[in-house]
């Protein structure tokens, strides 16, 4: 009795449920955006969507609002160089206006505008503010809804949409500037789908900070595309063992994969480490529906991951937003997390799918590597456990490169899609989340229809085409693609030639810079022969590519090219897609059938060909990078030798009308 009444007196609030949860949101972080209205996945709508969701669900009203504050230079310079600090402080000033875009283009996946400096200072300062309040015990926990994100930013480099490393700055602030608060050991959990390379480097030799990151890695091919995120990277010197990476070998990881990692790596280690505080680099780009992440974590999954961490550090947890590019997914995931912080229990829901076989393999590798530092990881996991897995499916393709991956199972494409359907429906079973197709109903209609997407330009190169499906960019490309809602690679790849003329025209593009780009003459011409790479993809993916090829701000609330269009195109020959008619590739052309599936390509309308003929629009050879990627596509597809491919492009680029 006595204890109970003490507790009630001691804390001003309801002792058995409501906890004090801080929230930071500030409109000024919306003023950082891509210049010239260019579309970009890391845009202001992200934090607006989260904020609106928390308000409309009456959740923000149960939280304590904190004020965003600009971070002090002194705190920035505990993590970043003076140079980098100065660059970000000044980049938005008038005197930089003429240099801004040029500086950004030299960096990896970075843009700047007039609002960037202020937003970057507020993002870092907000995480510092939230961390201080939680460390002091004024709040139980907090969520900083900030942008630009931070975890890719390194000592002397902005990259991956990140300017200052917000989480690293807040962590070093608590450890070095506020010793009186008694926060001596901090756990950073980075569940953004990308590796937190900047944070890893900051605390590489520091045993006060346990950095844990789970991310897509794919043996160094997923952004930031190097080996820093591999499980062999465990820290150095006194920091050895205090850096833990869990590198996924494939996309499509979901709740079961993440929770297996929590249960068999993270939680046992955290029990031993016993942090005084936890900071989460809470990107939501591993969420189901994310266009860049290609994973499947549900709001329920995030809520369980978070709840499991709340049992440590007396629940002192700060979440700082990092990535996450599907507005609905990030809003729902954030809502689930704040509900957990308030209620101290996961949201309602369940997920029944098993982890991938590759997930168990990675978990074993991490445990083996780190078992010397963390005894609870030293034992081998029982096979009874690790045998429970979801079938790993490798899509069979005619792409000769993947055929040496001997360990993997190859099956016919039909069987693959049949099994995939079963797996997909299994993994959706009872999971109370919204999959991509429930956000946008039309997607479920077109996601099961396969077509051949015939490519004659840069998409002949498989890595280039994959940018349109998985998101990201390849060499020579000026800005990243957002990808498709369905990130599966093409089921098959074929090459054919068609009697249509290939030509190159227009002055320049956003994607490739100056130089002409490829178009296919919509009319047949028996004198001509154009090599085309055919990808078997879904009609949903074709729609997403059509949108990206015709850069526009169309919201895809209905499909650009629907089932009716598909059924009528064989009679019409081509269909001009009105919703993206400003785009240069809005003319969908029917080229026949291959195994009963229609072959479609996209090009300009005939009227534009007329403008090329009249000289109103210039015919122009491609720039070097663009030509190189065409040659690369033709060579890697085993269609032409490099020499012949070069001559083929050269001829198409110089042939007059
Ligand atoms: C914070 C974050 C992703 C960068 C991807 C660049 N960055 N292709 O999610
Ligand atoms: Zn990310």
DSSP 19-33: --EEEE--GGGGS--
Phi, psi of 493 (to 5 degrees): -130, 130
Mean pLDDT of the chain: 89
Q: What confidence score (pLDDT) does residue 17 get?
A: 55
| pLDDT for the residue numbered 420 | 52
From the CA of 193, give the closest atom in ligand 1: 9
**Average confidence (pLDDT) over 63-81:** 98
| Confidence band for 437, pLDDT divided at 50, 70 and 90 | very low
- Per-residue pLDDT for 71 more than 60? yes
Local confidence band at 316 (pLDDT 50, 70, 90 cut-offs): very high
Task: Give the Å distance between the CA of 161 and the centre of ligand 1.
Answer: 6
Region 235-251: mean pLDDT is 97
Distance (Å, whole) CA 256 – CA 351: 7
Confidence of residue 552 (pLDDT cuts 50, 70, 90): low
Spatial distance between the Cα atoms of 202 and 186, rounded to a whole number of angstroms? 13
78-87, 224-233, 479-488: lowest mean pLDDT where? 479-488
In ligand 1, the atom with minimum distance to the C-alpha of 162 is 1
Of 207, 136, 197, 137, residue with least CA distance to 167: 197
Instruction: Give residue-wise pLDDT tens across range 356-397.
Output: 999 999 999 999 999 999 999 999 999 989 988 876 443 322
Statement: residue 403 has pLDDT above 80: no
Q: What is the pLDDT of residue 556?
A: 78
3-state secondary structure (DSSP) of residue 50: helix
- pLDDT value at residue 402: 32
| Average confidence (pLDDT) over 156-160 | 98
Give the residues surrounding ligand 1 with Cβ less than 6 Å away: 109, 149, 152, 160-162, 192, 194, 223, 283, 285, 322-323, 472, 480
Query: Please, what's the b/e burial string for 514-551 (b: 16 or more CB within 10 A of its CB; e: otherwise)?
Result: ebbbbbbbbeeeeebebbbbbbbbbbbbbbbbbbbbbb
* 340 touches 346 (CB < 8 A): yes
How many residues are recorded in the chain? 657
What's residue 132's pLDDT?
Answer: 98
From the candidates 32, 80, 84, 152, which is the catalytic residue? 152
Residues with CB under 5 Å of ion ligand 2 are 192, 194, 283, 285, 323
264 is annotated as an active-site residue? no
The protein residue with its alpha carbon nearest to ligand 1, atom 7, reads 160
Cβ–Cβ contacts within 10 Å for residue 569, how many?
Answer: 18
> Nearest C-alpha to atom 2 of ligand 1 is from which residue?
323
Distance, first Cα to last Cα, the chain: 94
Q: Give the least confident one: 289-293, 381-385, 598-602.
A: 381-385
Contact 590, 574 (CB under 8 A): yes
SS3 state at 78: coil
Look at residue 418 and tell me whether its pLDDT is greater than 60: no
Please state the atom number of ligand 1 nearest to the C-alpha of residue 192: 9
**What pLDDT score does 421 carry?**
53
Cα dihedral sign, 486-491-497-499: negative
Does residue 553 carry a pLDDT above 80? Answer: no
pLDDT grade, residue 582 (50/70/90)? confident
Least confident of 271-285, 383-397, 435-449: 383-397
Query: What does the pLDDT average to over 110-130?
Result: 98
pLDDT of 451 strictly over 60: yes
- Mean pLDDT score, 516-529: 96
Q: What 3-state class would DSSP assign to 154?
A: strand
Res. 346 pLDDT band, cuts 50 70 90: confident
pLDDT in the model for residue 16:
46
């Amino acid at each position: 009795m006595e204890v109970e009444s003490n507790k009630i007196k001691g804390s001003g609030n309801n002792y058995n449920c409501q906890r004090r949860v801080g929230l930071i949101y500030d409109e000024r972080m919306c003023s950082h955006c891509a210049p010239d209205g260019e579309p970009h996945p890391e845009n202001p709508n992200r934090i607006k969507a989260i904020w609106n969701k928390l308000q409309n669900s009456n959740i923000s009203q149960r939280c304590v609002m904190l004020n965003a504050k600009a971070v002090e230079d002194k705190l920035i310079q505990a993590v970043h160089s003076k140079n980098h600090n100065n660059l970000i402080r000044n980049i938005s000033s008038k005197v930089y206006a003429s240099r801004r875009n040029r500086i950004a283009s030299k960096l990896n996946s970075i843009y700047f505008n007039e609002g960037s400096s202020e937003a970057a200072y507020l993002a870092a300062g907000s995480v510092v503010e939230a961390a201080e309040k939680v460390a002091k015990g004024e709040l139980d926990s907090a969520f900083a809804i900030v942008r630009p994100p931070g975890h890719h930013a390194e000592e002397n480099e902005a990259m991956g949409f990140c300017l200052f490393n917000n989480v690293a700055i807040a962590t070093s602030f608590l450890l070095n500037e506020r010793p009186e608060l008694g926060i001596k050991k901090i756990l950073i959990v980075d569940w953004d789908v990308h590796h937190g390379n900047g944070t890893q480097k900051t605390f590489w030799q520091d045993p006060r900070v346990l950095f844990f990151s789970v991310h897509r890695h794919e043996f160094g091919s997923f952004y930031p595309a190097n080996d820093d995120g591999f499980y062999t990277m465990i820290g150095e010197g006194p920091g050895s063992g205090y850096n833990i990476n869990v590198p996924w070998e494939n996309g499509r990881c979901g709740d079961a994969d993440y929770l297996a990692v929590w249960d068999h790596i993270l939680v046992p280690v955290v029990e031993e480490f016993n942090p005084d505080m936890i900071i989460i680099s809470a990107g939501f780009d591993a969420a189901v529906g994310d266009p860049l992440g290609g994973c499947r974590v549900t709001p329920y999954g995030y809520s369980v991951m978070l709840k499991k961490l709340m049992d440590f550090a007396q629940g002192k947890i700060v979440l700082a937003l990092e990535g996450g590019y599907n507005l609905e997914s990030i809003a729902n995931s954030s809502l689930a997390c704040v509900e957990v912080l308030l209620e101290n229990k996961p949201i309602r829901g369940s997920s029944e799918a098993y982890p991938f076989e590759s997930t168990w393999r990675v978990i074993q590798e991490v445990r083996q590597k780190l078992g010397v530092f963390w005894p609870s990881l030293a034992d081998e996991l029982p096979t009874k456990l690790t045998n429970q897995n979801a079938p790993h499916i490798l899509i069979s393709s005619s792409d000769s490169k993947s055929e040496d991956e001997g360990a993997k199972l190859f099956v016919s494409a039909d069987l693959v899609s049949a099994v995939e359907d079963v797996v997909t429906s299994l993994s959706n079973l009872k999971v109370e989340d919204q999959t991509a197709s429930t956000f946008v109903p039309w997607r479920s209609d077109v996601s099961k229809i396969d077509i051949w997407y015939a490519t004659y330009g840069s998409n002949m190169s498989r890595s280039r085409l994959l940018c349109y499906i998985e998101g990201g960019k390849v060499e020579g490309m000026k800005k990243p693609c957002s990808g498709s809602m369905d990130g599966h690679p093409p089921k098959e790849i074929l090459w054919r030639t068609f009697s249509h003329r290939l030509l190159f025209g227009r002055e320049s593009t956003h994607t490739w810079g100056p130089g002409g780009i490829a178009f296919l003459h919509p009319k047949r011409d028996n004198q001509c022969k154009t090599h085309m790479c055919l990808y078997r993809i879904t009609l949903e993916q074709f729609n997403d590519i059509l949108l990206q090829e015709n850069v526009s701000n169309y919201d895809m609330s209905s499909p650009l090219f629907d089932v009716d269009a598909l059924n009528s195109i064989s009679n019409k020959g081509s269909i001009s897609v009105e919703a993206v008619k400003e785009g240069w590739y809005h003319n969908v052309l029917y080229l026949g059938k291959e195994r009963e599936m229609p072959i479609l390509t996209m090009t300009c309308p005939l009227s534009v060909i007329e403008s090329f003929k009249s000289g109103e629009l210039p015919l122009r050879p491609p720039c070097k990078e663009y030509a190189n990627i065409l040659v690369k596509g033709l060579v890697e597809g085993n269609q032409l030798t490099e020499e012949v491919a070069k001559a083929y492009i050269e001829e198409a680029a110089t042939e007059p009308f």
